[in-house]
């Protein structure tokens, strides 16, 4: 797949990356000298684009892909820049390559801001680029719904609605206060759910949090979502296995399995956000006089959250929610 991308746009795999647009929305190379000067494109990139477009009109998929590449580059520059690892240009290029190839194969979602935060740990922890790519691709099978956006909805809208319901049940006073402030849609929690707290926790703590989340949510039949296809019979058999293997499930999943109502089976990330809100409930009630205040109070927790404490709090709220 990387070879296919490199054939279209040879910057992929070259150890470099781009941060400037290379074509217009109608698939033509950018030729305005003022734009070229502002974007600081090198001559090699310009020649690559001219050679590509000289073959004839570009396919719509190619156009859409090329239009995302500079945005990926801009986000790559901003991702985990406080870490020594990304002081090396080749590591930035590696991150750009993986995200670019993923954007090529996922024609439905493509690339969206925030994916670089999810991919970065894979690059750092796995030396082999192919291993890092496939770990990221499997992670996106779990989270790609977060990045589905339309003109009328955002990808995490369902989770935000669930968060509102959970908060209303476990802390009705806080929920009412947030509604009064115009925050009943809980969009201020958008980032936490989108990138699984990567920006609220330190790098190491966010990985620690992921490990605990996935262990708590573990279901031995979860492998079905990592398969490209499966017969109905296989899936039915998987359900039967699940009923016999309760002890193998994570603690959070075991609690979910006690409840027959599937609507109550929410991802643990919703309860993690709810636990953060519960922890800051008194501050939000006393000091928040508008949505800007809510955002500021939640931004102040960045880098100061404890992963283990957050998971324990989420489990307690989960049990309370299920009982109510």
Question: Model confidence over 32-84: pLDDT tens digits?
Answer: 655 555 455 555 676 777 777 777 778 899 999 999 999 999 999 999 989 99
Are both 84 and 175 inside the same structural domain?
no
Are both 177 and 296 inside the same structural domain?
yes
Are both 163 and 211 inside the same structural domain?
yes
Buried b (16+ CB within 10 A) or exposed e, 141-155: ebbbebbeeeeeebb
Are both 138 and 167 inside the same structural domain?
no
Residue 170 confidence (pLDDT): 93
Other C-beta atoms closer than 10 Å to the C-beta of 163 total 25
Are both 164 and 69 inside the same structural domain?
no
- Residue 109, classified by CB atoms within 10 Å of its CB into exposed (0-12), middle (13-18) or buried (19+), is middle
Tokens of 50: 């001219």
Distance (Å) of CA 297 to CA 164, 185, 186, 273, 294: 18, 17, 14, 14, 5
Distance (Å) of CA 129 to CA 13, 132, 167, 234: 11, 5, 41, 32
- Give pTM, 2 decimals: 0.84
- Residue 135, classified by CB atoms within 10 Å of its CB into exposed (0-12), middle (13-18) or buried (19+), is middle
The CATH number for 161's domain is 1.10.472.80
Are both 14 and 98 inside the same structural domain?
yes
Among 87-91, 121-125, 218-222, which stretch is predicted with the lowest mean pLDDT? 218-222
Structurally, how many domains does the chain consist of?
2
Q: How confident is the model at residue 225 (pLDDT cuts 50, 70, 90)?
A: low
Are both 143 and 4 inside the same structural domain?
yes
Residue where a domain terminates, one of 90, 124, 147? 147
Would residue 234 count as lying in a domain?
no
Residue-wise pLDDT tens digits, 241-297: 445 467 788 999 888 888 776 666 788 999 999 999 999 999 999 999 999 999 999
168-184 mean pLDDT: 94
223-252 mean pLDDT: 58
Would residue 235 count as lying in a domain?
no
When the pLDDT of each residue in the chain is averaged and rounded to a whole number, the result is 84
Range of the domain at 177: 155-226+242-322
């Amino acid at each position: 797949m990387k070879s296919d991308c490199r054939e279209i746009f040879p910057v992929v795999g070259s150890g470099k990356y781009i941060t400037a647009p290379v074509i217009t929305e109608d698939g033509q190379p950018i030729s305005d000298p003022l734009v070229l000067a502002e974007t600081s494109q090198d001559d090699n990139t310009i020649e690559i684009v001219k050679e590509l477009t000289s073959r004839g009109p570009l396919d719509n998929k190619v156009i859409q892909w090329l239009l995302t590449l500079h945005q990926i580059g801009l986000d790559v520059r901003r991702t985990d820049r406080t870490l020594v690892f990304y002081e090396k240009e080749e590591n930035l290029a590696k991150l750009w390559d993986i995200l670019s190839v993923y954007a090529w194969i996922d024609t439905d979602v493509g690339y969206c801001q925030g994916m670089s935060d999810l991919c970065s740990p894979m690059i750092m922890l796995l030396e082999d680029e192919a291993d890092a790519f496939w770990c990221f691709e499997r992670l996106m099978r779990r989270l790609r719904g977060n990045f589905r956006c339309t003109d009328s909805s955002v990808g995490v809208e369902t989770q935000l609605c669930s968060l509102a319901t959970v908060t209303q049940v476990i802390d009705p006073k806080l929920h009412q206060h947030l509604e009064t402030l115009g925050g009943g849609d809980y969009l201020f929690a958008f980032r936490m759910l989108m990138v699984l707290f990567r920006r609220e926790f330190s790098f190491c703590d966010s990985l620690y949090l992921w490990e605990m989340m996935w262990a708590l949510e573990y279901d031995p039949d979860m492998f079905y979502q990592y398969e490209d296809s499966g017969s109905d019979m296989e899936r039915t058999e998987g359900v039967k296995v699940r009923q016999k293997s309760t002890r193998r499930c994570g603690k959070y999943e075991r609690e979910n399995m006690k409840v027959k109502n599937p609507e109550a089976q929410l991802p643990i990330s919703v309860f993690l956000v709810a636990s953060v809100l519960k922890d800051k409930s008194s501050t939000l009630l006393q000091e928040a006089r508008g949505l800007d205040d809510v955002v500021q109070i939640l931004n102040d927790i960045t880098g100061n959250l404890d992963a283990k404490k957050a998971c324990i709090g989420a489990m307690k709220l989960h049990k309370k929610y299920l009982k109510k």
